[in-house]
Amino acid sequence: MFSLLSSEFILLSASTLFVYVLYQSRAKPQKLPLPPGPSKLPFVGNAFSFPSTFEWEAFTQWGKDYNSDILHLSVFGISIVVLNSFEATRDLLEKRSTLYSSRPRFHLITEVMGFEWLIPFMPYGNAWKERRRILQRHFHSQNDALVRPVELKYTRGLLLKLLEDPSTNFRTHVRHAIGSTLMSLTYGTKTHSMSDPIVEVAEETGHHLSQNATPATVLIDKLPFLIPILSPFLSASAFKKPRAFWDKLTLTLRETPFAVVQREMADGTAEPSFVSKALEDISGTQDTAKQHQIIKDVAALVFIGSGTTNAVMQTFFLAMTLFPEAQAKAHEEFDRIIGRGRLPDFDDMPHLPYIAALIREVHRWKTPGPFGIPRILEQDDEYKGYLLPAGSFIMSNAWAIQYNEEQYPNPSTFLPDRFMKDGKLDASLPDPSVVSFGFGRRTCPGMPVANSSVWLMIASLLSVFEIIPPVDEKGVQILPKGNYVSGMTFHPAPFDCVVRPRHKEVEVLIRGTADIHA
């Protein structure tokens, strides 16, 4: 039972909430209608119907129910606008980016967990612009001469690990290859173990962010005084860990590898990396401490970004396990265009259209970011005859875009051929990977690096391996169920598959090209 004090607190919170909702509803007269959406109850709005997991699927269905690519919901007076089409998302987040580029406060992420330094959760302003600028300067497509040799090294190391140790779960080898690539690009340091502590901390941080930045938990951004009441009913790990836990993650991510690079630069042993080059770029007229802080923030973000690439690669392994006909077509394209005498490299990219189509379908079929991080509308706006109220949370539904049945018939089926036309990539269909990386001023600057890493890993794996389901003691295939984990980063639940060489020349081919230090 509640004590008298807790009962008084609940009564005070409810009263405060009632006044807040009443103010929100009467603050501005509405001359235009709101976008359509589920019926709202007095006072609570859509609080009882708001999904807590797999939100994107519910919003996609509501878009069909109300025949609209833009929806309006309300939870305790908080206005929420859901964008369910590429057109609406592009029109607002790109063409009107001055109004749609900032973020809500993210009370859980920034204040409870202490990740206010993470760029994706920063409001639009000078601090965000400074970090964005340095990201764009160092992580762009013109930097291929520095990026691609590192990607080649660790991708070929991945092939060797899968050849020598196929019994180990493929996820372990993949996460090590991705983490090592980002570690090398960001800090110039090498990871020598599949359980490197820095890589593990980055992955753990990404996992917690994915679970705590969901639309359901972000709603308390405007209602932080309800946290003591709501926290027992929410699964967000932010409520279950002490602040010291989050501070330790931050210290490990931002300070430890940065200090290593500084020490190596002083010794003259530093490898070229984002951090070393960014430190060299600091001029004598700049505030050195401030610049160091910016570099630390950007470097840690790049490293945490391994979660999205990992999700894409896990979906790739699942798709190959479940859809062998797509894998067979990829093998045929390799044998016909490259042959079996060498591994693919980046020069082969324009000549392997089916591989490109397969990668696009991986992004579309189970997009790694089905729901964009919410933005906040700076002032009242009008779109398609509807009022979009100032202060609204703007949520772009990438899942609805990727599952548009007019553009992608039978969207639940994994079908790379949907992106092919007359033996070439169909230029009339947009690249789904673009949707995965966001819109407008908030588009992820790391997209070129992520896309090139994914292409090389998938192309290399398909050139030498066959990915098949395991079998039971009777020789019957055990197909994965294909379940997924709900979160900001969307990835399959753990499943098993077998990775085996496609032909007898594979071992010589891999050992002849792999860097033993990768």
Annotated binding residues for heme, written as ranges, equal 444
Secondary structure (H, E, C), 5-72: HHHHHHHHHHHHHHHHHHHHHHCCCCCCCCCCCCCCECCCECCCCCCCCCHHHHHHHHHHHCCCCEEE
Strands of 312-421, DSSP E? 375-376, 381-383, 386-388, 393-396, 420-421
Amino acid present at 142:
Q
Cα–Cα distance measured from residue 518 to residue 513, given in angstroms and rounded to the nearest whole number: 11
CB 222 within 8 A of CB 103: no
Full 3-state SS string of 459-517: HHHHHHEEEECCECCCCCECCCCCCEECCCCCEECCCCCEEEECCCCHHHHHHCCCCCC
Cα separation of 485 and 206, whole Å?
14
- DSSP summary character for residue 225: G
CB burial string 145-158: b at 16+ within 10 A, e below: eebbebbbbbbbbb
359 burial type by CB count under 10 A (0-12 exposed, 13-18 middle, 19+ buried):
buried
In the block, residue with structure tokens 């859809």: 323
**Pairing between β-strand 420-421 and β-strand 424-425 as defined by DSSP bridges:** antiparallel
Number of other residues whose CB lies within 10 A of the CB of residue 271: 13
Which secondary structure element, helix H or strand E, spans residue 75, and what is its range?
Answer: strand 70-75
CA 511 to chain centre: 33
Cα–Cα distance for residue pair 70/32, rounded to 1 Å: 15
Residues placed in the known binding site: 444
Cβ neighbours of residue 42 closer than 8 Å, sequence gap 6 or more:
none
Cα–Cα distance for residue pair 104/130, rounded to 1 Å = 19
Q: Closest Cα to residue 370, out of 484, 481, 456, 287?
A: 484
Cα separation, 125 vs 367, whole angstroms: 29
Which residue(s) pair with 424 in the sheet? 421
Helix (H) or strand (E) holding 433: helix 432-436
Q: Are 257 and 187 in contact (CB under 8 A)?
A: yes
CA quadruple 359, 365, 366, 369: dihedral, nearest 10: 70
Q: What is the DSSP string of 415-429?
A: -GGGGEETTEE-TTS
Q: At what angle do helices 256-267 and 170-187 cross, to 10 degrees?
A: 50
Local structure of residue 104 (DSSP, 8 states): -
